[in-house]
Structure 1
Amino acid sequence: MLNINRFTIIIIFLGDSDNLFELPFRIRIFFTVNDTLTYYLVYFYQFPMVYLLICHNAWICLLITIVLHICGQLAIVEYRIRHIKMLPGARDNTNTIFRELVERHMRSIWMAKASDDAFHFVLLLDLVGTTLLLGLMSYVVIIGSSMSESSFGYVYIICVIATVFLLYGYCIVGELLIQESKRVHAAYYECLWYESSITFRKSLMICMTQTQEPLRMTAGKFFVFSLTGFTDVLRSAMGYLSMLRKMTH
């Protein structure tokens, strides 16, 4: 009798195709996975997504680290420019110190522009995807709350929070880069230029001209990541949410 029950359980388990062919990612596909070969093909197709997520997070951390490093270099330049001493009889030494500061500043500018050239297209894709995801997931949360699906809604609320946090990370780092660039520009104006030589003043004027435009982290060379841009993206996402609600009601 016990052997018959075990045999019955095995047959029931084998007849349940959902347990046998469970994919690593729950996505909707346009065909039915009902044999081993199809299951293996779909499984190997989805398997690299794990590494894509890891690579995506890695380059986000790399970009944020580079931008924060640039902000640190700009903060050093700003501090040293404000505290540079114009000693009488030591003009050559002052010019040498100022030349080193300008070289450090130009290196930071080059790093910021090179990073923007390398990452602006990927940031544009992230920006568009983040905006659409915020609108769609917010709509799903509203639908789930109206259907009393609490566990379903909590999952999407966590996804919305994670997406907003990612966008806020981009924008706060971009805001720091802008503010540090403006501080360096203000430091050139506020240093003791009136106690320096004519050569020093001419060099200072060139630096003032070069720093009139603050450094920025952009998406597609047109959207600037800043706190103002963060509110603009949230406003656009809520606009998509309002459009979806009007289309379905």
Structure 2
Amino acid sequence: MIMKDWINIKNDQERNLMIRRAQTARIIIICSYCIMGLQWSFISVLPIFGVTMRLTPNITDPGRIPMPLQSHYIYDITKRPQYELTFISQAVYVAIGMMAYTGVDNFLSLVVFHICGQLNILENRIQHLDKYKNYPKMLKRCIEKHIRLLRAIDIIEDTYNGILLSLFIYFAILFAFYGFRIISLFDEGNDMSITHLIYFISTIINIFTHMCLYCVLGEILVAQCNKVYYAAYSNKWYIMDPKIAGDLLLLMTRGSKQICLTVGKMSPVTMATFCSLVKTSVGYISVLHTTRR
């Protein structure tokens, strides 16, 4: 679909619009991988210098350089080359896991920004229908394009609603525990090293940013779909030929329905949902803090 849309671009204005959308998605992808690269260096590189991000020791630690991840080993890793191979394998697995986790987010951002670019092009065409010589044919193409984009959004929704549900639950729990950890640092005094504190803060920012990204993408998608609806409504459909007005009415009727990504088919993925999620997590932090006292 993406390749076909780029091939069917009609003029430089549409091409520049799509390039801007693609560049925005590219910036998000680069930033995501940079954050994950920083996290990976904390987990996999610093242990080489004897600095581990783990807060508790493991009984299977060899005593020299700690492993990136805590685990129970079925073989003796204190010997060589078992130790080196285990360390390298863990570093590789962590990198693969981070790329897979970030790749899901980046693919969603890429597809959503592409669809938003196509919706923006559709909006411009609908707003200037009267400038086309054969505008009934152009209107028909716009309706077909709108239906195709809505089907693409439905496919994304069906693919990601379960993933988003699990991620929202994961974020709520993890954010609550991290928030509780921050409060504990202030209550008991900061016994963390600077390296641990930087890693801790970067982890919170990483989780918060990725979850916020989902909601921002959902918000952008909703806003762009609404713009298409208002573009159709802004036409003088009431003085058009009844047949053409009927076609435009179909587009307005379909555009009036809310189109958005959802969390498990239950709640729309918007910034309002994100704020509610953060509010819920803060409530859990308060409960944990009160229970500890």
Is 2:195 the partner of 1:147?
Answer: no
Alpha-carbon contact 2:68-2:90 (below 8 Å) kept: no
| Equivalent residue in structure 1 for 2:179, among 125, 130, 138 | 138
Partner of 1:7: none
- SS of the residue corresponding to residue 228 of structure 1 reads helix
Is 2:121 the partner of 1:76?
Answer: yes
Question: How many angstroms apart in 1 are the aligned matches of 2:153 and 2:215?
Answer: 15
- Equivalent runs, 1:87-166 vs 2, <5 Å: 93-145=134-186, 146-150=188-192, 151=194, 152-166=196-210
The amino acid of 1:99's aligned partner reads K
Deviation at 1:37, TM superposition (A): 8.8
Alpha-carbon contact 1:218-1:225 (below 8 Å) kept: yes
Is 2:100 the partner of 1:59?
Answer: no
TM-score, normalised to structure 1's length?
A: 0.81
- SS of the residue corresponding to residue 19 of structure 1 reads coil
- SS of the residue corresponding to residue 122 of structure 1 reads helix
Question: How many angstroms apart in 2 are the aligned matches of 1:125 and 1:203?
Answer: 40
Question: How many angstroms apart in 2 are the aligned matches of 1:164 and 1:148?
Answer: 22
State which drifts further: 128-137 or 44-53: 44-53
Question: How many angstroms apart in 1 are the aligned matches of 2:179 and 2:232?
Answer: 46
Change (3 A) 1:37 1:71: same
Deviation at 1:48, TM superposition (A): 2.8
- Equivalent runs, 1:175-214 vs 2, <5 Å: 175-214=219-258
* Structure 1: gaps (5+ residues): 1-15
* Structure 2: gaps (5+ residues): 1-60
Deviation at 1:59, TM superposition (A): 1.8
Is 2:265 the partner of 1:221?
Answer: yes
TM-score, normalised to structure 2's length?
A: 0.70
State which drifts further: 154-163 or 219-228: 154-163
TM superposition outliers: structure 1 runs of 4+ over 6 Å: 37-42
Partner of 2:40: none
Alpha-carbon contact 2:261-2:269 (below 8 Å) kept: yes
- SS of the residue corresponding to residue 18 of structure 1 reads coil
Question: How many angstroms apart in 1 are the aligned matches of 2:259 and 2:211?
Answer: 19
Partner of 2:52: none
Sequence identity of aligned pairs in percent? Answer: 22
Alpha-carbon contact 2:122-2:228 (below 8 Å) kept: yes
| Equivalent residue in structure 1 for 2:274, among 220, 230, 242 | 230
Alpha-carbon contact 1:139-1:244 (below 8 Å) kept: yes
Question: How many angstroms apart in 1 are the aligned matches of 2:107 and 2:73?
Answer: 40
